[in-house]
Amino acid sequence: MNKLTILILTFLMSFNSYSLSVVLTDSDEPVVRMVKTTSYDLVIEGKSGSSVSEPYEVFVAVDPNGSSTTDQNKYFTKSNGDLATISAGTVRFFVDVDVDSDEKKLFVAARDGSDTDFDMVYLSTANFSSDTDSQALDVPMSNLCGSPVDCASDGFSDSSQQVEKDQIYYIGLVDTDTAFETGLNPEADEYKGGVYVRINFSTKLDETVVISLSTVEPGDESVYVTYETSSTTISDRYDTIFISDGTGNAPFHGTSGSESPTILFESETAGVSDSVQIPDLSNGVTYNITVAYRNKYFFATPQSDSLTGQPQEIPPFLKKNACYFISAGFGEDHYVLDYFRSIRDEVLLQNSFGKRFVNFYYTSAPKYAQYIYENKYLAFSVRIFSYISYFAIKHFYYIMALITLILSLLIVKKRGNVVSRKKELQS
């Protein structure tokens, strides 16, 4: 009986030690935000945040001295004034808090240089006596970059340097009467159950990247932009941004730092050299387009040279029928057009390769269909090619059978000639 009691007590004590927990809200797609003049979501990556070896990764851009004329401000793609410094700005975490019956408060601790010891850098003033979801935890940059992290000594307040630094932090729960502590071990029972976050700080820019803008072609409520670069090193490239009313070969906010261009489109999947459709534009409006790469800190490379483009409405007939090239060639509904639509629906869209081909076709064909539709010679060429393709596909087996028959007859004839030749030689 005593052994059973001991076992139950041990289990309850073990359960109690794990009953406290802090996790980032929506752990699959958590949100961490920088709050300064306005606020914006930071790039966050990572795994579970359950250990030092599997932390969430957060990327924070830093301005060395808080001046709007620094290079960092010029290349930063958020609003002027939103770039944090090591003493200004707040990192806002959204966390879910699970507590037991005792009141607790949140703390943030930074690893102090050892493998296991952390020093508290922030203690929340809010107390929690019940479970709370989506709690905003605002941690000032001055706390995150102060002791023991000391960003200043790493050059983050020196505009003559471009530096990077990463730091492991731990977010957990402690009793409400807890004061700032140093040398704590997050894996100890009184702290266990929190979440690890590595914050990457950077003032580093890619100022030497050169992007060439090749073409800007019209589409329906869109333009197709083709660009390339010979640069091979782009630090932490996160996405490609397509900009309206920027300045070619200049920083995002211009050489003076006072420009405010518009980002028309952001693509994480676009290649370093690629052709990309920019959607959701207005037909008949001229756009002055530049392209830049952006890293995870939202620092952009210099913009490409600029080209103008104007979206044009695709005739309703082409848009309705969707088989752009063939529709443009015939200019009206046709049995050949119906046949190729059935090939698309019943064959191509039934397998992964066909789906990729169809997606590629629909992102590239519209910008050329207009030219075919308006040019009678191109339209005639497309019709001839469509008829040939239609006949070849529809009667494929008959054609193959005919070719096989012809080849067989030629082979038989050749063998007959060889036999006849041998007989002539023998005689």
pLDDT in tens, 127-165: 998 999 999 999 999 999 999 999 999 999 998 899 999
The pLDDT, as a whole number, for residue 235 is: 72
294 pLDDT band, cuts 50/70/90, is very high
| The one-letter amino acid at 208 | T
Mean pLDDT, the chain, as a whole number?
85
317 pLDDT band, cuts 50/70/90, is very low
404 pLDDT band, cuts 50/70/90, is confident
Residue ranges of domains in the chain, CATH in brackets: 19-202 (2.70.50), 211-309 (2.60.40.10), 316-394 (no CATH)
Pairwise pLDDT comparison (10 vs 370), residue with the higher score: 370
Q: Rounded distance, CA 331 to CA 300, Å?
A: 44
Cα–Cα–Cα angle for 170, 33, 233, rounded to 5 degrees: 90
pLDDT in tens, 19-74: 568 999 987 889 999 999 999 999 999 878 999 999 999 999 999 987 777 899 99
The pLDDT, as a whole number, for residue 3 is: 55
Pairwise pLDDT comparison (318 vs 355), residue with the higher score: 355
Pairwise pLDDT comparison (198 vs 80), residue with the higher score: 198
Work out the average pLDDT over 289-304. 96
In DSSP notation, 389-407 reads HHHHHHTHHHHHHHHHHHH
Pairwise pLDDT comparison (189 vs 320), residue with the higher score: 189
The pLDDT, as a whole number, for residue 12 is: 43
Q: Rounded distance, CA 71 to CA 63, Å?
A: 9
CA 294 to chain centre: 10
pLDDT in tens, 213-227: 999 988 778 888 999
The pLDDT, as a whole number, for residue 319 is: 53
Question: For residue 134, is it left (φ>0), alpha (ψ between -120 and 50) or beta?
Answer: left
Residue 81 CB neighbours (<10 A): 13
77 pLDDT band, cuts 50/70/90, is very high
Res 367 pLDDT > 70: no
Residue count (the chain): 427
363 pLDDT band, cuts 50/70/90, is low
Q: Rounded distance, CA 381 to CA 387, Å?
A: 10
121's tokens: 């850098």
Pairwise pLDDT comparison (381 vs 209), residue with the higher score: 209
Res 10 pLDDT > 70: no
